[in-house]
Amino acid sequence: MKKIKVQHIAEIMNQFAPRQLAEEWDNPGLLVGSFDAPVEKIFVCLDVTDQTVAQAVDFGADLIVAHHPIIFRAVKNFRTDLPLGKKIETLIKNVVAVFAAHTNLDSAEGGVNDVLAEKIGLVDVKNFDEDFSLGRIGTLPTPMDAVTFAKHVSKSLNADVRLVNAGDFLIEKVGLCSGAGSFVIGKAKFLGAQAFVTGDVKYHEALDAVESKIHVVDAGHFATEFPVVHALAEKLRTECKNLGYDVEIAEDKISRDVYELILKG
């Protein structure tokens, strides 16, 4: 088996989720560490948090592959008494590099949104009209009413959901966009969707959906994206094995949504 460097993993990731698929405002790629650093262990996660950094260090990881970039905007200071600086200090002290694939992984074939569509059981899944897109549209094998569909999504993702019920009509076509994807609800409606699955839906976006006659299931940012962690880890395992790379890969299995559902008394 061949020894590898961060650069080799970056090449696999860039073939799977090409950087040119990323939105202009995004910041994917190698964010901490060196392309020349050797890699024997990789830890895959959704977010680079104190918890996932601790898991990676305990595992002895040389590289974290995450969905959300640890750095989004220009860093004007490096304060180790603040959360971001403290995490980066821990990563550097333990020689752990961080590579992120964000909106490029959302749009990529087999990426976040395709994994989400598969989890909720959609068939005949397609991009929106473009060659690549953040959103997907697919079909339910069996039409459902809004409440039944919301319960189905909740069970499929093991998540609490909120339903924006737009009326008494069945759902056959479903649009989706993981994370905060409500900005494409209108596009999904135009393409024939009767329902849309995403997270982080705002009040006025929900009102607009009702008036547009499209049901919306808000399953949360975390739950709509976390399934990609396992899929990405499996993808890396397969690619590294095929290429003869000697590397061990672990994935985050313990992180939970930061939101808790508190029922009214």
- Residue type for position 99: F
What is residue 49's predicted lDDT score, i.e. its pLDDT? 98
Instruction: Pick the more confident residue, 261 or 166.
Output: 166
Taking residues 85-92, report their average pLDDT: 96
Asked, colleague to colleague, whether 4-105+226-251 and 109-219 share their fold, the answer is yes
Contact (Cβ atoms closer than 8 angstroms) between residue 166 and residue 205: no
Which tens digits make up the pLDDT trace of 28-51?
A: 999 999 999 999 999 999 999 999
Check residue 226 and give its pLDDT: 98
Element (H, E) at 237: helix 227-243
Radius of gyration (C-alpha) of the chain in whole angstroms:
19
Residue ranges covered by each domain of the chain: 4-105+226-251, 109-219
- Note the pTM of the prediction, 2 decimals: 0.95
Was domain 4-105+226-251 assigned CATH 3.40.50.1100? Answer: no
Q: How confident is residue 132, by pLDDT bands cut at 50, 70 and 90? A: confident
Helix (H, G, I), strand (E, B) or coil at 51: helix
109-219 placed in CATH 3.40.190.10: no
Residues 161-187: what's their mean pLDDT? 97
Q: How confident is the model at residue 99 (pLDDT cuts 50, 70, 90)?
A: very high
Residue pair 200/224 in contact by the 8 Å Cβ criterion: no
pLDDT, one tens digit per residue, over 188-203 is 999 999 999 999 999 9
58-70 average pLDDT score: 98
Helices 227-243 + 6-16 axis angle, to 10 = 120
Percent of the chain topping pLDDT 90: 93
User: Look-up: residue for tokens 């598969």?
Assistant: 118
What's the mean per-residue pLDDT of the chain?
A: 96
pLDDT-derived band of residue 152, with 50, 70 and 90 as boundaries?
very high
Write out the E strands in the chain: 4-5, 29-32, 38-39, 41-45, 63-66, 97-100, 123-127, 136-144, 162-164, 171-176, 195-198, 215-218, 248-251
CA distance 180 to 177: 7
Percent pLDDT > 70 in the chain is: 100
Q: How confident is the model at residue 130 (pLDDT cuts 50, 70, 90)?
A: confident
Mean pLDDT, range 124-150, rounded to an integer: 95
Cα 137 to Cα 117: distance, rounded to the nearest angstrom: 8
pLDDT over 90 at 78, yes or no: no
Name the band, by pLDDT with cuts 50, 70 and 90, for residue 1: low
Mean pLDDT lowest among 53-67, 208-222, 250-264: 250-264
Residue 20 neighbours by CB distance under 10 Å? 9
Mean per-residue pLDDT, 213-235: 98
